[in-house]
């Protein structure tokens, strides 16, 4: 299986993982630094393609198992982890199925489906 020139059958997970999250900057917070009396920096993980830090953990786990034969990912998620897993599956060319609760907004379901994942709406 090839991902952006990487063979997922022989590659180590760290190399695959490096393809998933993007660099996000640190931003010095004057307000929080003033309140705490310490230098406070905010990591802007909202700039990730999936809009959250979830791609770091989910992406790493996906990159560890994607080389297994007939790998498919099944995930129960509310919002961010499902989006991150769907994105990782798309990047790693792996089938992903996400189970979301019935109160999941339609635009989130569409976002997951747009990443190529199958979505099932079940439970609360």
Q: What is the mean pLDDT of the chain?
A: 77
**Which tens digits make up the pLDDT trace of 12-25?**
545 555 566 667 78
CB contact at 8 A, 106 and 73 = no
Q: Which CATH class is domain 2-121?
A: alpha beta
- Per DSSP, 46 falls in state G
Adjacent-strand bridge partners of 82: none
Apex 122 CA angle, 56 and 54, nearest 5: 10
| Range 93-116 average pLDDT | 90
Report in angstroms the alpha-carbon separations of 81 from 11, 116, 123: 24, 15, 17
């Amino acid at each position: 299986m090839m991902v952006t020139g990487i063979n997922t059958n022989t590659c180590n997970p760290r190399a695959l993982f490096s393809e998933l999250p993007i660099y996000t900057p640190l931003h010095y917070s004057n307000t929080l630094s003033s309140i705490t009396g310490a230098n406070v920096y905010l990591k802007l993980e909202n700039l990730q393609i999936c809009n959250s830090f979830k791609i770091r953990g989910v992406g790493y786990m996906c990159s560890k198992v994607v080389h297994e034969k007939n790998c498919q990912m099944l995930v129960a998620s509310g919002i961010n982890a499902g989006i991150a897993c769907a994105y990782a599956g798309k990047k790693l060319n792996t089938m992903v199925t996400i189970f979301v609760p019935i109160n999941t907004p339609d635009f989130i379901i569409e976002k997951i489906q747009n990443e190529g994942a199958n979505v099932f709406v079940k439970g609360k």
